[in-house]
């Protein structure tokens, strides 16, 4: 067995099994040598020898290794006139911070004269003291303070440094630092092996020891020291990023930009950087020294702090030049990391002195800056004033909980902070659909025009900065920080999505939860394969529609309702036309009205006043007391389990009739224009087959005929002279529906699992109130995950049962998941592998994350097969 593995720029190579015994640092050095890069020469001692080093003599191998270093560097180890110094690195396969490097080995009073001629006598004695200090602290665990005390007793001139060295030698022990350079080398090696090899823990994988020559960047103006990244670690731009110092021992202060380096060296470093990227298939960090015009590469390593953007752009560039394949590129990025390419991030340097409120839940990720307002109408008014005056229009809504009337403010604002709710409550869901930022912080106290937390008070009009990352708790900074904005067309995301989509198969795709044309455009850009959930209630939240919709809800008669619905139908038709056209040829699933009616009604005096003014402008003279009485009559104690979804349609069938007419009118118009689409109409909150049959087929009772979806379709097709295919399905969001799926499938051509409500109704947990007690469940490990983010086992079982029973009745039944769980990789794996669903649907800005999770699962499955 070879005892040492020499390396140099000559290009030594070793077998893979040998490389495993050289530790991380040793392998990195030899990998540079394999590429014939000018690495400072050295050798690695086989890790199997480490346990034996303290007791056996390996002098012959060590001397042979030193000869190779001497030839490469041009100095001789132990020579009094021109001494070679070396460093020893504990090279483990583990990346742990306590493994040391001992520099300046071979420096002693014997070699001091020659080394002094290189860097000066004072600096040479300082380096000797540094060697002694390293030996004492890293090998013998002598406290740093004891060396500090010695230094404090002497001046920093040559004589002072000599006295420091003498006292430090006594502290470390003369036997542990011999004056003879080779004996010193052997003793340090033995003591390092003794100190850093643990027979119990390291028996299977002991650390190796790397010995490498030392070169110096402080030998005049023709010498320098520096480091660089092979490309910009933030933007991924293909140009070196780093710094260097002329005539300096270390890069211990701000240096010059690496691009200002002499052209000959810069060109060589660029070539080396490109070669290293190709070898390691990623952006890397490189350290170098120029010693008297000779370029040396000291080390290269991975870059943990590189941005996702830089990583992806590097991978895409390597793929384009043929260094890596597309499947390998797709496998390198954890899905959740893509969120950093979709949202702004806070510039950390701008946070100095800004107080922070930490904690809560990231409802919708990203970063936002704006003035806070505690009422949607005041925010809208301030936004209009800011536009007219040319002032800052960035604003943040702060509410206890958000409702329909707040959507307009969330839409124009930068984000929303709420005190109640969770990941699947109203404010986060709306924010994710609009690409806004949402933080839910249950511990903030919201007053009339302020909020407080631990004595910190933020008043209306004050600036806050919202920092809501994906994989750590969010932070609200009570001041104005700077943001770094993303551009998906330059940061590599759109190109990466294109690569990811190559590994999406027809048997499982990702659709979008999208409610308006603008959402559909974003979804197409993000790579969606259709719309799996259009929440039609969101179409009525817009400021120019909410009052008309309120008028319909508060109408006192059927005729009044129909009149308003006829007024709304052209708007609905236009909405559906946009969605179908933008998303063609992919499918669009439209969920008929689901939200409880009370969500649309005025909730305070300001909103009620606005509604009364709306009626007056239409020539209607409303009675405020009568309107208030109707609002109170529609109030429900538990609206999420009350009058919503298909129950509204059974009570007021004219509402669904208006929506269905709008769908078919838009679809037939597109058919005439040559655009083929297959509308998918979804009926929500169904609990038994009778409801589904009633709404699909209609019903005649006591001389009254209620039109079903099929009746309306026939009317429109006859009227327009067009026939087209369509599907009717249901959202399975109640345990009763899941268990009755065999019967539901007689009338439904697809199921979509609404896992937000299915989680609520299965566990008996309110998604709006869970945060008041869930921290205790987390603390005591009573639930492994937040069930509104990661599907619970009971919910999974209901989906599995439903899918199985549904497909027994209808083998070609299409199955999808459209709850907020749709972007989580673990949920996606369940949908693909266990329940054999056809798609998941998620908010537009989560689509790339879901696509990547699906692609990686497909690649994993292909490799397993």
Encode pLDDT of 381-427 as tens digits.
999 899 888 899 999 999 999 988 888 899 899 999 999 988 878 89
Out of 118-122, 211-215, 465-469, 640-644, which region has the weakest mean confidence (pLDDT)?
640-644
604 marked among binding-site residues? no
**56 — pLDDT class (breaks 50, 70, 90):** very high
**400 in a known ligand binding site:** no
Active site residue 426: yes
Q: Calculate ∠ Cα 354-845-365, nearest 5°.
A: 20
What is the average pLDDT value for the chain, to the nearest integer? 93
User: What strands lie across the sheet with 241-246, from one edge to the other?
Assistant: 256-257, 241-246, 224-229, 284-291, 294-302
Contact of 842 with 819, CB cutoff 8 Å: no
Alpha-carbon span 662 to 572, nearest angstrom: 6
CATH topology classification for 344-484: Glucose Oxidase; domain 1 (3.50.30)
What's the pLDDT at 471?
Answer: 66
Q: Give the whole-number percent of the chain exceeding pLDDT 70.
A: 99
Q: Tell me: is residue 573 an annotated ligand-binding position.
A: no
Domain ranges of the chain: 4-213, 344-484, 503-596+636-864
As a whole number of angstroms, the distance between CA 26 and CA 818 comes to: 50
Q: What is the pLDDT of residue 691?
A: 96
CA-derived radius of gyration, the chain: 35
SS3 at position 517: helix
Of 383, 818, 821, 831, catalytic:
818
> Residue 182 in 3-state DSSP?
helix
Closest CA to 371 of 409, 427, 404, 408: 409
d(CA 270, CA 182): 38
Helix (H) or strand (E) holding 859: helix 847-864
Q: Which of 426, 441, 538, 747 is catalytic?
A: 426
- Give per-residue pLDDT as tens, 2-23: 899 999 999 989 999 999 999 9
For residues 213 and 42, give the distance between their C-alpha atoms in angstroms, rounded to a whole number: 6
Element (H, E) at 483: strand 483-484
**Class of the CATH domain delimited by 4-213:** alpha beta
pLDDT digits (tens, 9 = 90+) for 674-690: 998 999 999 999 999 99
Instruction: Name the band, by pLDDT with cuts 50, 70 and 90, for residue 633.
Output: confident
Q: Is residue 747 among the annotated active site residues?
A: no
Please state, in angstroms and rounded to a whole number, the distance separating the CA atoms of residues 162 and 156. 9
Portion of the chain with pLDDT greater than 90, in percent = 75
What is the secondary structure of 364-398 as a DSSP string? E-EEEEEEEESSHHHHHHHHHHHHHHT----EEEE
Q: Is 358 flagged in the annotation as binding?
A: no
Quickly count: other Cβ atoms within 10 Å of residue 564's Cβ.
19
pLDDT number for residue 273: 97
Percent helix, strand and coil across the chain, each to the nearest 5: 45, 20, 35
Q: What are phi and psi of 445, to 5 degrees?
A: -105, 120
* pLDDT, position 1: 67
- H or E segment and range at residue 585: none
Is the model's pTM score more than 0.75? yes
322 assigned to a ligand binding site: no
CATH superfamily of 503-596+636-864: Phosphoenolpyruvate-binding domains (3.20.20.60)
User: Under a CB-based contact definition with an 8 Å cutoff, are residues 828 and 850 in contact?
Assistant: yes
Helix axes 121-134, 112-119, angle to 10 degrees: 120
Cβ contact 425:418 at 8 Å: yes
Q: Is 370 annotated as a binding residue?
A: no
- Mean pLDDT (whole number) for 565-587: 96
Q: Is the pLDDT of residue 43 over 80?
A: yes
pLDDT of residue 346: 87
> Which pLDDT tens digit goes with each residue over 710-764?
999 999 999 999 999 999 999 999 999 999 999 999 999 999 999 999 999 999 9
Give the CA distances from residue 288 to residues 28, 59, 118, 224, 258, in Å, rounded to whole numbers and listed in that order. Answer: 14, 30, 19, 8, 11
- Residue 591 among known ligand-binding residues: yes
């Amino acid at each position: 067995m070879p005892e040492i593995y020499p390396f140099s720029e000559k290009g030594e190579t070793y077998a893979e099994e040998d490389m495993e015994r050289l530790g991380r640092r040793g392998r990195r050095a030899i990998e540079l040598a394999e590429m014939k890069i000018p690495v400072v020469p050295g050798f690695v001692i086989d890790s199997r020898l480490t346990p034996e080093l303290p007791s056996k003599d390996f002098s012959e191998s060590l001397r042979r290794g030193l000869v190779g270093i001497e030839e490469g560097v041009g100095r001789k180890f132990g020579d009094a006139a021109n001494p070679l110094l070396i460093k020893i690195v504990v090279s483990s396969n583990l990346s742990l911070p306590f493994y040391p490097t001992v520099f300046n080995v071979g420096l002693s009073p014997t070699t001091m004269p020659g080394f002094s001629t290189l860097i000066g006598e004072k600096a040479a004695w300082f380096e000797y003291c540094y060697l002694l200090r390293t030996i004492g602290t890293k090998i013998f665990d002598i406290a740093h303070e004891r060396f500090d005390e010695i230094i404090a007793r002497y001046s920093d001139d040559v004589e002072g440094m000599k006295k420091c060295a003498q006292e430090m030698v006594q502290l470390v022990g003369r036997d542990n630092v011999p004056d003879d350079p080779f004996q010193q080398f052997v003793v340090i090696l033995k003591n390092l092996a003794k100190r850093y090899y643990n027979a119990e823990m390291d028996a299977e994988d002991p650390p190796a020891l790397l010995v490498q020559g030392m070169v110096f960047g402080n030998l005049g103006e023709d010498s320098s020291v520096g480091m660089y990244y092979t490309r910009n670690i933030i933007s991924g731009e293909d140009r070196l990023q780093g710094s260097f110092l002329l005539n300096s021992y270390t890069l211990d202060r701000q240096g010059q930009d690496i691009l200002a380096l002499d052209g000959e060296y810069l060109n060589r470093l660029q070539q080396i950087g490109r070669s290293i990227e190709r070898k390691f298939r990623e952006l890397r960090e490189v350290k170098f020294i120029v010693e008297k015009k000779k370029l040396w590469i000291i080390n290269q390593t991975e870059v943990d702090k590189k941005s996702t953007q830089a990583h992806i752009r590097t991978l895409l560039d390597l793929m384009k030049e043929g260094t890596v394949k597309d499947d390998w590129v797709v496998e390198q990025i954890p899905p959740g990391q893509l969120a950093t390419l979709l949202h702004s991030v806070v510039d950390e340097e701008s946070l100095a002195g800004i107080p922070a409120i930490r904690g809560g839940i990231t409802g919708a990720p990203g970063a936002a800056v704006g003035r806070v307002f505690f009422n949607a109408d005041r925010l809208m008014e301030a936004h209009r004033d800011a536009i007219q005056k040319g002032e800052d229009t960035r604003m943040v809504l702060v509410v206890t909980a958000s409702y329909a009337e707040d959507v307009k403010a969330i839409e124009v604002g930068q984000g929303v902070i709420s005190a109640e709710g969770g990941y699947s409550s109203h404010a986060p869901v709306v924010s994710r659909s609009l690409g806004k930022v949402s933080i839910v912080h249950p511990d903030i106290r919201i007053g009339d025009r302020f909020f407080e937390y631990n004595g910190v008070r933020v008043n209306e009009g004050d600036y806050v900065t919202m920092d809501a990352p994906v994989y750590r708790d969010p932070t609200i900074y009570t001041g104005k920080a700077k943001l770094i904005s993303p551009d998906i067309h330059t940061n590599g995301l759109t190109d990466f999505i294109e690569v990811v989509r190559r590994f999406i198969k027809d048997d499982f795709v990702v659709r979008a939860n999208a409610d308006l044309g603008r959402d559909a455009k974003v979804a197409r850009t993000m790579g969606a394969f259709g719309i799996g959930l259009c929440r039609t209630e969101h179409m009525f939240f817009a400021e120019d529609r909410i009052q008309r919709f309120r008028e319909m809800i508060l109408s006192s008669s059927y005729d009044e309702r129909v009149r308003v619905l006829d007024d709304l139908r052209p708007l609905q038709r236009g909405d559906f036309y946009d969605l179908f056209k933008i998303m063609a040829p992919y499918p669009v699933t439209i969920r008929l009205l689901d939200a409880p009616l009370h969500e649309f009604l005025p909730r305070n005096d300001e909103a009620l006043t606005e509604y009364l003014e709306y009626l007056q402008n239409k020539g209607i003279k409303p009675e405020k007391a009568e309107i208030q009485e109707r609002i109170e009559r529609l109030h429900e104690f538990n609206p999420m389990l009350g009058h919503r979804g298909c129950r509204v349609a059974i009570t007021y069938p004219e509402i669904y009739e208006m929506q269905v007419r709008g769908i078919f009118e838009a679809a037939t118009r597109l058919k005439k224009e040559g655009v083929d689409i297959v509308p998918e109409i979804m009926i929500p909150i169904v609990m038994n087959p009778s409801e589904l049959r009633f709404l699909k087929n209609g019903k005649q009772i006591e001389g009254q005929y209620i039109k079903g979806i099929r009746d309306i379709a026939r009317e429109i097709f006859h009227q327009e002279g067009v026939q087209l295919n369509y599907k009717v399905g249901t959202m399975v969001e109640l345990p009763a529906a899941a268990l009755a799926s065999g019967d539901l499938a007689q009338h439904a051509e697809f199921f979509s699992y609404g896992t937000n409500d299915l989680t609520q109704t299965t566990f008996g947990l309110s998604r709006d109130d869970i945060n008041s007690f869930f921290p205790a469940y987390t603390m005591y490990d009573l639930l492994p995950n937040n069930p509104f983010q990661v599907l619970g086992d009971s919910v999974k079982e209901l989906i599995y049962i439903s899918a199985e029973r549904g497909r027994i009745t209808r083998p070609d039944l299409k199955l999808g998941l459209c709850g907020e769980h749709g972007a989580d990789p673990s949920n996606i794996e369940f949908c693909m592998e266990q329940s054999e669903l056809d798609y998941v649907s998620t908010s537009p800005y989560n689509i790339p994350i879901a696509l990547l999770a699906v692609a990686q699962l497909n690649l994993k499955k292909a490799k397993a097969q």
